[in-house]
Structure 1
Amino acid sequence: MLAELFLEASRGCRTWSPLTHTLLVSAADDLARGGITTRVMAGAERDPRGTVPGLRFAGALHRLVLEGRAPELAAHYPTVGGRPRLDRLWEDALPVLHEHTDELNALTSGTVVQTNEPGRSGPLFGGLHTATRLAADAVGRRTAFPVRLLEVGASGGLNLRPHRVAYRVDDEVLGDRYSPFALDPSWTGRPEVDLRDSLRLVRRAACDLNPVDVSTEDGRLHLSSFVWGDQPERWDRLQSAIDLARLDPVPVRRATGPEWLAEQLARPERDVLTVVWHSVVWQYVSPADRAMGRAVLAEAASRATPMAPLALLVYEPRRAHTAYEFRLLLKLWPAGVSLCLGTGAGHGVPFTWDTQTWN
């Protein structure tokens, strides 16, 4: 079973990360033969699919590489200046697995996969502009609503400052042109609103079951370890987002989503658009918490007013034919707006804007 989960994870990164794909296929074979990987992953034999044990394994190895404690393996990782040699990768990984068996077991058993992809700030930026404009139009307001942004499953909170990012779109820089985090969102099309208008976030709050403090070196290493080791562009994007987060801190509270959200939405806020946002977390939420979260949101939506509107903005995978696509979905109360704003890659980059009715 565990070997099958490793192979499943390997298929998900085959196109994007040959290094991670090769590592997981080799580890799956080693698991099937009862090799050293069985000791590294001891205790994970019955882990559910959603915990992605293969990516926890890859992240644990990458962390040792980032800490400079696996030099021969590091030679394969572009994130530390290496160059992959896939035919030798497993051969150089084996000594690390033997030398650090107990530590790797502790890392894989004591962590959860948290990519916290800052590329998703691109869809969020356009989605917030769309939501604020539509909420304003619904009441005949000339200027867009300011935003109270509430993120569920925020991890390190790297997507809590979409107004502080410099977005390079065509020959234009949108957002904060002086930001230390410059993002090419690789958009096809644009939202049907003026992105040069000021996006005002007046309050931000977030929760996560396992929040990451990116102001610490441990927090930086934790998130960095889950970047696939042969994706230097994605790596650089994460480091820039962490630098911005350290300049503009927003604490992430340790809490379950439904209970935290019920507290945050207890009272509508006048003259502010409250936006509940989450991205690629729904698959990790239990059925009970999903149902509770829907109920909390429905109750809050019933209390929303034209001058205290509420929006749900999510970037989550949906099955389309034989594969998954990531959709940016917007609901707005009491205006009754329900739209799919576009689709993109899991990391938020690239993204195609194409507004359709969301049923």
Structure 2
Amino acid sequence: MLAQLFTDAAKSCEGSSPLTESLLLSAAADHGAGGVTTRVMAGHECDRRGTVPGLRFAAALHRLVLEGRAPGLAEHYPTVGGSPRLETLWEAALPVLHEHTDELRARIGATVVQTNEPGRSAPLFGGLQVAAHAAALAAGRSTPFAVRLLEIGASAGLNLHPDRIAYRLGADEVVGDRDSPFELDARWTGRPAVDLSRPLRIVEREGCDLNPIDVSTEDGRLALSSFVWADQLDRWERLQTALALAAVAPAPVRRTTGPQWLADRLADSAPDVLTVVWHSVVWQYVSSADRAEGRAILADAVARATPGAPLALLVFEPRRTHTGYEFHLLLKTWPAGVSLRLGSGSGHGIPFTWDQQAWD
């Protein structure tokens, strides 16, 4: 079972991270043969698919590399200046696994997948613009609503800053905060059907997470960095820039369950503000009980929404198709009753295709 979960995780890297794919396929074979991977993963044989043990394994190894404690393996990791040689990658990983078996097992057991991919801020920015415009139109306003942004599963809160990023849409076009030190190449196909030149005003931002990461600490920054696939330097560079931005303007992330936090935050309406509940690539980690409770809490808030204090749900999550999975950006607003599939894109948010359709 565990070897199959490693293989499944490897497939998710196919075509985008040859290093991680090769590492996980080799680990799956080693585990099946009773090799050192069985000792590293001891106690995790019954881990749920949604906890993605293969990615936790890869992150634990990457962290040793980032800490300078696996020099032979580091020669294969571009994040520290190496160059992958897939034919000898597993050979370089084996001594690290043997030397650090107990530490790796402990770290894998103590961590959850924490990508907090800042590239998802690009579709979030566009989705918030659509939501703010739609709520204003329904309320008969001439200007978009300001936004109160609430994120479930916020990790380190890196995606709570979409208004503080410059989004490059073409050679000569930048929207968002044009003076930001963080410029993101959105790689959009199409555009959301709103005026993107209007400023996105976020007047309140907060998140929750069962295991929030404090990126003001070296441990926190290493934890997030270790989950980047080491041969994806564009993602690595985006993350490092987002970490620097968060250090200057941190957003609060509360350590609590989603339903409990959401009930507290939605108990009171915010007059003249659009409250947006947001989550991205987190639903697979949420228990069925918490999902049901969260839906009930949101339904109560929907019943209290008014044109002057509207509510929106904006999510970027995978949806199964006949060919695999697609990541869709979905929007609902209340009381306007807007329900839209805004588009789809990479699980990392970049690239993204805008294709607005009704969402049932």
TM-score by length of 1: 0.99
Secondary structure of 1:159's counterpart equals helix
Report the CA distance between 1:143 and its aligned residue: 1.0
1:326 aligns with 2:327: yes
- What displacement does 1:208 show? 0.3
1:268: how far off?
A: 1.1
Check if 1:186 corresponds to 2:183: no
Q: Tell me the residue number matched to 2:20.
A: 20
Letter in 2 for 1:82: G
Aligned residues: 359
| Counterpart mapping for 1:1-359 below 5 A | 1-170=1-170, 171-359=172-360
Q: Which runs of 5+ in 1 are unaligned?
A: none
Deviation at 1:181, TM superposition (A): 1.3
1:197 Cα deviation (Å)? 0.1
CA distance in 1 between counterparts of 2:353 and 2:141 reads 29
Residues 14 and 21, structure 1, Cα contact 8 Å, conserved in 2: yes
What code does the residue aligned with 1:69 have? Answer: R
Q: What's the Cα RMSD here? A: 0.6
Amino acid at match of 2:118: P
Aligned-partner residue type, residue 3 of structure 2? A
1:194 alignment partner AA: D
Q: Find the aligned partners of 1:320 and 1:268 in 2 and give their Cα distance.
A: 37
Note the C-alpha offset of 1:322. Answer: 2.7
How far 1:71 sits from its partner (Å)? Answer: 0.6
Aligned AA (1:143): T
Q: What is the CA deviation profile of residues 203-250 of structure 1, one whole-angstrom value per residue up to 9, with x for unaligned ones?
A: 011100000001111111000000001001100000101110001111
C-alpha distance in structure 1 between counterparts of 2:329 and 2:137, whole Å: 21
Unaligned runs of 5+ residues in structure 2 are none
Tell me the distance in 1 between the aligned counterparts of 2:78 and 2:270.
47
Partner SS, residue 87 of structure 1: helix
CA distance in 2, matches of 1:355, 1:29: 43
Q: Give 1:108 shift.
A: 0.7
- Deviation at residue 321 of structure 1 after TM alignment: 1.6
Conserved 8 A contact 1:169-1:186: yes
Instruction: In structure 1, give the amino acid aligned to 2:38.
Output: T
**Distance in 1 (alpha carbons) for counterparts of 2:236 and 2:38:** 29
- 3-state SS of 2:158 partner: coil
- Partner SS for 2:254: strand
Quote how far apart the aligned CAs of 1:77 are: 0.5
Task: Name the CA distance, whole Å, in 2 between partners of 1:324 and 1:4.
Answer: 18
Cα separation, 1, equivalents of 2:345 and 2:232: 18
With the length of structure 2 as denominator, give the TM-score of the two structures: 0.99
Which letter does structure 2 place at the counterpart of 1:112? V
Do the aligned partners of 1:145 and 1:272 also contact (CA within 8 Å) in 2?
Answer: yes
The code of the aligned residue for 2:34 comes to G
Distance 2:139 2:148 in 1: 18
CA distance in 1, matches of 2:177, 2:85: 40
Partners of 2:205 and 2:252 within 8 A in 1: no
* Letter matched to residue 263 of structure 1: D
Quick check: 1:180–1:243 contact (8 Å CA) kept in 2? no
Cα deviations across residues 108-157 of structure 1 (Å, max 9, x unaligned)? 11100110000000000000000000111111101111000000000010
Matched AA of 1:348: G
How far apart in 2 are the matches of 1:351 and 1:14? Answer: 19
Contact 1:119 1:237 in 2 (8 A): yes
Q: Hey, what's the Cα distance between the residues in 1 that align with 2:324 and 2:39?
A: 33
The runs of at least 4 aligned residues of structure 1 exceeding 4 Å deviation read: none
Cα-to-partner distance string for 1:319-357 (whole Å, 9 max, x where unaligned) = 122311001000000000000000001000000001000
Percent identity for Structure 1 against Structure 2:
71
Is the partner of 2:87 in helix, strand or coil? coil
SS at match of 1:119: helix
